[in-house]
Amino acid sequence: MTELTELTAVRLVEGYRKGEFSPVDVVRAALHRAEEVQPAVNAFVRVEADAALSQAAESAERWRRGEPAGLVDGVPVSVKDILLMRGGPTLKGSKTISPEGRWDEDAPSVARLREHGAVFVGRTTTPEFGWKGVTDSPQAGVTRNPYDLSRTSGGSSGGSAAAVALGAGPLSLGTDGGGSVRIPGAFCGIFALKATYGRVPLYPASAFGTLAHVGPMTRDAADAALMMDVISGPDPRDWSQLGPVNGSFVDGLAGGVRGLRVAYSPSLGGQVAVRPGVAAAVRRGVEGLASLGAYVEEADPDFTDPVEAFHTLWFGGAARVTQRLGPDQRELLDPGLREICEAGARSSALDYLAAVDVRMELGRRMGLFHETYDVLVTPTIPITAFEAGAEVPRGSGHRRWTGWTPFTYPFNMTQQPAATVPVGMDDSGLPVGLQIVAARHQDSLVLRTAHALYEAGVAGIAPPSTPL
């Protein structure tokens, strides 16, 4: 059972094809793992054992006939409880959403996974409406870090990151509006990709607008490429989706990084204070790229921290999410969310458009930057996981989660692909993430760069010790 929970999705599909094991055995193992770790970590809102085992049996029969439904037939997948999934409520971490209703529609990424035979093991935790970079909510409680239960998993896709790290399925769907797959990916030691905006269709449209992305959270870059080949499929409900993918993300993993022009920015030009343990691990990762033949130069992108513009856009989105709530419902909200909603409601349309101007200028600067450099490498987060249940580290002086995530949200504003790769541990035994950013539409390049680090043994860390 333990061995099956440690296998990647790529390895599971290979095993199914060769008849080495059955989707029923694999899903049973993933469900057992989910139920085993849930009391300590709180990665799931719901574990859907009966439905998952039924889907696994159907998958096993397809494999027996030699007729798999698609690329991930029989692979256990979890879904962040922000994305619609038919058959049960999507509560988004909020007590203001009633579980009553038909709940008969899948989000596009969920629909594509279902078409390809994925087995859905459960819904993962999120802060309320995905508003912050840690995972705790009035509806679902606190999600903890698999490497240290006293610390946060990060957020807002913290449940998904913890589930993947702990072996409760190798694939999970997350969302990222300011770092929400990359932050918990870094804190929990897994791979996570925020694809170019529109590459993965989204429906319903997010109130946070074009800041909001959907992305794979996986064991490694190869699994993410496999998942991207599925979830990047078109969906007519998303009017802002990109056109068809040119080729396969899996096929694009080959080729390595020899000759790649890499800009390494350890602190965004001295704007960010990075903890020594994080800086050292990221530097080793960068040295790994150089040893593989990449041309590495220490260079900083030409921008100052756009946090105020991001706040205008983000707080405005939060205000829109909660606009229709009455006074009694507002009292049910996370107090921090209620506070930023009030701030967002005070902004004018001109304030919002001024923030859009900042965003467009940031995009212009990064477009020019990538004329010189193929990828930008930074720390994903300047710190490692801090105490669970807090929005900011105690004593940090930060007011909001954006104070400790300066490497992530700028690339939501520019809509660029960005991934986090685990490259080591700090002195406390907590994971460190390295971020890879490329120009818009260069998702395959991000995946190929990360895959080269995994292939060379530079990326990837030991899983959390068990039992918890």
Active-site residues: which are they? 80, 156, 180
Measure CA 147 to chain center. 18
CB neighbour class for 351 (10 Å; exposed up to 12, middle 13-18, buried from 19) = middle
* Residues β-bridged to residue 174: 215
Token pair recorded at residue 404? 């400790």
Structural element, H or E, at residue 420: strand 418-425
Cα–Cα distance for residue pair 214/102, rounded to 1 Å: 24
- With CA atoms as reference, report the closest residue to 430 among 120, 152, 69: 152
Q: Pairing relation of β-strands 141-142 and 171-176?
A: unpaired
How many residues are given for the chain? 468
Q: Is 217 helix (H, G, I), strand (E, B) or coil?
A: strand
CB neighbour class for 121 (10 Å; exposed up to 12, middle 13-18, buried from 19) = buried
Tokens 């001295």 correspond to: 270
Note whether 268 and 407 are within 8 A (CB).
yes
Crossing angle (nearest 10°) for helices 49-65 and 9-18: 50
Secondary-structure percent of the chain, ordered helix, strand, coil, rounded to 5: 40, 15, 45
Question: What are the helix and strand counts (H, E) for the chain?
Answer: 15, 15
Note whether 202 and 445 are within 8 A (CB).
no
Q: At 213, give phi and psi (nearest 5°).
A: -120, 160
- With CA atoms as reference, report the closest residue to 28 among 167, 191, 223: 167
Produce one character per residue of 410-446: b if its CB has 16 or more CB atoms within 10 Å, e if not: bbbbbbbbbbbbbbbbbeeebbbbbbbbbbbbbbbbb
Note whether 243 and 398 are within 8 A (CB).
no
Strands (E), 26-170: 44-47, 76-80, 119-124, 136-137, 141-142, 144-145, 148-152
225: how many CB neighbours lie within 10 A of its CB? 25
